[in-house]
Chain A
Amino acid sequence: MTVRPVWKYSLRAVALAYLAALLLAPVVFIFIRTFEHGFSTAWAYMTTPAAISAFWLSVLIAAIAVPLNTIFGVGTALVLVRSKARGRKILDALIDIPFVVSPVIIGLALIVVYGIHGWFGSWFVDHGIPIIFDPRGMIIATVFVSLPFCVREVAPVLMEVGTEQEQAAATLGASSWQTFWRVTLPSIRVGVAYGVVLTTARALGEIGAVAVVSSNVLGSTVSLPLLVKYRTQTLGPGGITAAYATGVELAVMSLIVLLAMTLLAPQRKDAR
């Protein structure tokens, strides 16, 4: 339908104003506030021992959670799309649980299972591998919250590419293993890449679930998002500027993620 100019420009104005106030202004603002005292000041806050430790903890969490959920995601997508095994419909429904459960409830759930009085927690504590109030718990919490992304990206692509090429490979004598690596994986790589990007973004940014299972000790169990919260709530030297500096550090990471999403988006649309 042809919208009259007055409507066209009003709608455009509403959309642009909404996005400017909601998305653009906050992000621009945090960059301005961070660098208004100079780049070196901001850099100093990003490189304190606590900040460096937080950075590496965030990297460690993502480096473990993302590969785990990628392997799970691809394998599970194959089971859901390609197999006729009974029970896969139930599995399909249960995978989305992390999308609807509050991150705080996820943290609580891990405490009552893996905490010192939890279902399995005492065994782990007895064997000298505490989970809750330890980076291990933060990793498990991150696996939980970022679990569905890869499955949900890969499954539709797998459905779309079909099985003809796989059947051809099998006819030509390829084993299941060879078919997977040489035929299936290359044809779903955009879906996997998009899933990895979304999982990474969530793993780096998660705060609710990891806050519950973290002991909040600077230098050991404070990731970058927790450091932002810590620096905002307990204004130390540098005050809020220190918090902004860590916020910008995360924002830069997320802009890289956004760029990856933008570059992959057209190919992802083609693949679906």
Chain B
Amino acid sequence: MSPPPPADTLAAPLGAPPPGSTSRAHAGLRVRGAGGALGLGLSTLYLSIFVLIPVAAVVDVALGSGWHAFWTSFTNTVALTALEQTLAISAVVAAVGSVLGTVVAWVLVRDQFGGKQILNSVIDLPFALPTIVASLALLGLYGTSSPVGIDIALTKTIVGVALLFVTLPFAVRSVQPVLLELDQEVEEAAASLGAANATTFRRIVLPALRPAILSGTALSFARCMGEYGSIVLLAGKVQIASLVIFADVESATGSGNSAYQPAAGLSVALLAIALAVLFGLRKWGTDGDG
């Protein structure tokens, strides 16, 4: 079979028009090739200025004062406590959020009742609502002056609730489309062969949803590990990594970038843990059927 024609017809959307002297098709292709490289260069430059150079600088500052300083920056008591608590809360929230998120996705796809469409739109609210507003609202609703009599302000529980709020769309929206696409005939076949609902769910539905659920869990977890806005008003004395880093930056003394070494060291450790778990969960989701 002959190879298909090049699909990159418009690789140079912002590139120069083809020179008039050569034939259009030929010139077009040539400019496209150069335009693709130019576009890639411009995109990379933009990404470098805003993202890559700053992230590289944090790593540089973290390691710039030597290995011992780097090691100390995340193994001192405060940092270690914060990392442990952040990790534990993020793990619990990602797990609980995934289970309840899957229930919500199931109800949105398989159940029928009035107002379902409105409910479906509301799922995206945490993407739209500024996190500080969520923080403020949860503080009022489940804080010291709670109108419903639930005072969990400044506890790990309310931090967890805030994190469930911000990660809800990840948990629901990663499972929902897969559930929609799921072929119900297979479930019916299982039922007609005598499988109980529990068996059908465990053997047919759950394996099909597993990659999507784990992908949602991974996204939720990564978000929890770095979250600041939704918990800043709620955490109190609960040591959360992002709040500790924030305090370190604010209290940095001395001149030069090395003043930020403790904050940068903890940042690099936090990021490394988040990335390791993110890739681990994704790999677990896509590898075989376990």
Q: Judging by beta carbons under 8 Å apart, are A205 and B129 in contact?
A: yes
Contacting A at CB under 8 A, from B46-67, are: 46-47, 50-55, 57-58, 60-61
The interface on chain A, measured as residues whose beta carbon lies within 8 A of the other chain's beta carbons, has a size of 102
* Residue A79 interfacial (CB < 8 Å): yes
Contacting B at CB under 8 A, from A79-137, are: 79, 82-85, 87-88, 91, 94-95, 97-115, 117-119
A225, A243, A247, A254: the one contacting B128 at CB < 8 Å is A254
Q: Judging by beta carbons under 8 Å apart, are B36 and A83 in contact?
A: yes
Closest beta carbon of chain A to B99's beta carbon, Å: 10
Q: Judging by beta carbons under 8 Å apart, are B228 and A103 in contact?
A: yes
Distance between Cα atoms of A144 and B134 in the complex (Å): 22
**Neighbouring B residues of A140 by C-beta, 8 Å:** 50
Residue of A nearest to B138 (CB): A26
Closest beta carbon of chain A to B163's beta carbon, Å: 11
Closest beta carbon of chain B to A54's beta carbon, Å: 12
**Neighbouring A residues of B187 by C-beta, 8 Å:** 1
**Neighbouring B residues of A262 by C-beta, 8 Å:** 121, 124
Residue of A nearest to B133 (CB): A247
Distance between Cα atoms of A73 and B148 in the complex (Å): 45
* Residue B284 interfacial (CB < 8 Å): no
A2, A27, A114, A207: the one contacting B232 at CB < 8 Å is A207
* Residue A193 interfacial (CB < 8 Å): no
**Neighbouring A residues of B37 by C-beta, 8 Å:** 83, 85
9 further A-B pairs in the complex, CB-CB below 8 A; given A12-B111, A109-B55 = A1-B201, A2-B197, A27-B129, A75-B42, A78-B10, A82-B7, A83-B36, A205-B130, A261-B124
Residues of chain B at the chain A interface (Cβ within 8 Å)? 6-15, 17-18, 24-25, 28, 31-32, 35-37, 39-40, 42-44, 46-47, 50-55, 57-58, 60-61, 100, 103-104, 106-108, 110-111, 113, 119, 121-134, 136-141, 147-148, 161, 164-165, 168, 184, 187-188, 190-191, 197, 200-201, 204-205, 222, 225-229, 232-233, 241-243, 245-246, 249, 255-257, 259-260, 263-264, 267, 270-271, 274-275, 278
